[in-house]
């Protein structure tokens, strides 16, 4: 992680994102670029005035981050926020986009079409959505594993982002066992089926982790029956995780109206920061 792009709208949610981006930049000795976008479809003198004011505010905020300020630069441009953020991230290029998210975003209909949602859906650079104060480095991280290339990319990004953290690799599955078998027969058959499923999933998980080679830090492995969203959210809450990680296909249209249901639910409901990545 050598180039971090913080996208800020100068709101209170962006303050938390700035603190996290600065902390990560220090941790990785990375270069930090702070980008703000003013709407460009207005008179040029108004856009110029807003750009100048945004630059002044950002310069002041960067002066308050402490003595160990990372190498940083400020960019304020006019245009549509998600387009300019993705353009800057690709042309620089950034290793990670950092954005903020506040409680007003947690309604699903409000989230779809927001800058955050469009950056993740249409971009190809891992994106960290900051929800909590950055009081310390990430310590406990939950990573959703579905054996896809997107999960592989997300996990790799998390390992790079916080190599000293405690990792929990979580895979969820839905049991296909029929519900119309009753009594002791059902209980015995379910037990046999569950054991077989556990063995199969653990073998898959072992093979998946082996793909990281020596890049993977020590990690706990959890295999849990249930819906992926529910399992990951519950695990993050139970472990008091400060970061939840997931891969997403990011498809739109018929494939999915927005991000993919798992990633979208995590972004809407997670009790902590969320890192989302995709393979392409």
Lowest mean pLDDT among 81-85, 116-120, 162-166, 186-190: 186-190
Are 49 and 136 in contact by the 8 Å Cβ rule? The answer is no
pLDDT tens-digit profile of 267-277? 888 999 999 99
| DSSP-assigned beta bridge partners for residue 172 | 224
Domain architecture of the chain: domains with CATH = 1-135 (3.40.50.620), 136-280 (3.40.50.620)
41-55, 163-177, 243-257 — most confident range: 41-55
Lowest mean pLDDT among 74-78, 95-99, 224-228: 224-228
* Per-residue model confidence (pLDDT) at position 76: 94
Q: 25, 26, 6, 23: which is closest to 14 by C-alpha?
A: 6
pLDDT tens-digit profile of 166-175? 999 998 877 6
pLDDT tens-digit profile of 137-149? 999 999 998 888 8
Q: 145, 111, 155: which is closest to 131 by C-alpha?
A: 111
Lowest mean pLDDT among 106-110, 120-124, 133-137, 253-257: 253-257
Residue 278 CB partners (closer than 8 Å, separation 6+): 124, 150, 153, 154, 247, 248, 249, 250
pLDDT tens-digit profile of 59-70? 998 888 766 678
pLDDT class of 182 with cuts at 50, 70, 90: low
pLDDT class of 26 with cuts at 50, 70, 90: very high
CA distance 13 to 179: 46
Model confidence at 91: pLDDT above 90: yes
The strand ranges marked E within the chain are: 3-7, 31-38, 72-78, 96-100, 127-130, 140-144, 166-173, 219-225, 243-247, 273-277
Tokens at 185, concatenated: 């027969």
pLDDT class of 212 with cuts at 50, 70, 90: confident
Q: 66, 58, 46: which is closest to 14 by C-alpha?
A: 58
* Per-residue model confidence (pLDDT) at position 192: 66
**pTM (2 d.p.):** 0.86
* Per-residue model confidence (pLDDT) at position 49: 92
């Amino acid at each position: 992680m050598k180039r971090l792009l913080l996208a800020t709208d100068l709101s209170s949610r962006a303050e938390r994102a700035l603190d996290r981006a600065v902390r990560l930049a220090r941790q990785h000795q990375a270069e930090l670029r702070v980008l703000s976008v003013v709407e460009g479809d207005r008179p040029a003198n108004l856009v110029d005035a807003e750009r100048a004011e945004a630059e002044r505010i950002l310069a002041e905020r960067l002066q308050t981050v402490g003595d160990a300020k990372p190498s940083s630069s400020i960019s304020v441009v006019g245009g549509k926020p998600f387009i300019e953020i993705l353009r800057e991230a690709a042309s620089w290029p950034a290793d990670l986009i950092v954005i903020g998210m506040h409680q007003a975003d947690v309604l699903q209909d409000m989230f779809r079409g927001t800058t955050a949602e469009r950056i993740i859906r249409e971009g190809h650079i891992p994106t960290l959505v900051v929800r909590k104060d950055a009081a310390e480095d990430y310590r406990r991280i939950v990573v959703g594993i579905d054996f896809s290339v997107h999960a592989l990319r997300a996990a790799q990004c998390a390992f790079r982002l916080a190599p000293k953290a405690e990792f929990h690799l979580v895979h969820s599955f839905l049991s296909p066992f029929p519900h119309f078998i009753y009594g002791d027969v059902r209980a015995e058959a379910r037990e046999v089926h569950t054991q077989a499923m556990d063995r199969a999933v653990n073998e898959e998980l072992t093979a998946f982790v082996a793909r990281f080679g020596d890049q993977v830090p020590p990690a706990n492995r959890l295999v849990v029956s249930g819906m992926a969203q529910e399992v990951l959210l519950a695990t993050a809450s139970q472990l008091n995780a400060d970061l939840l990680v997931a891969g997403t296909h990011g498809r739109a249209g018929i494939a999915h109206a927005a991000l993919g249901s798992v990633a979208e639910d995590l972004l809407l409901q997670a009790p902590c920061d969320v890192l989302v990545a995709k393979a392409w």
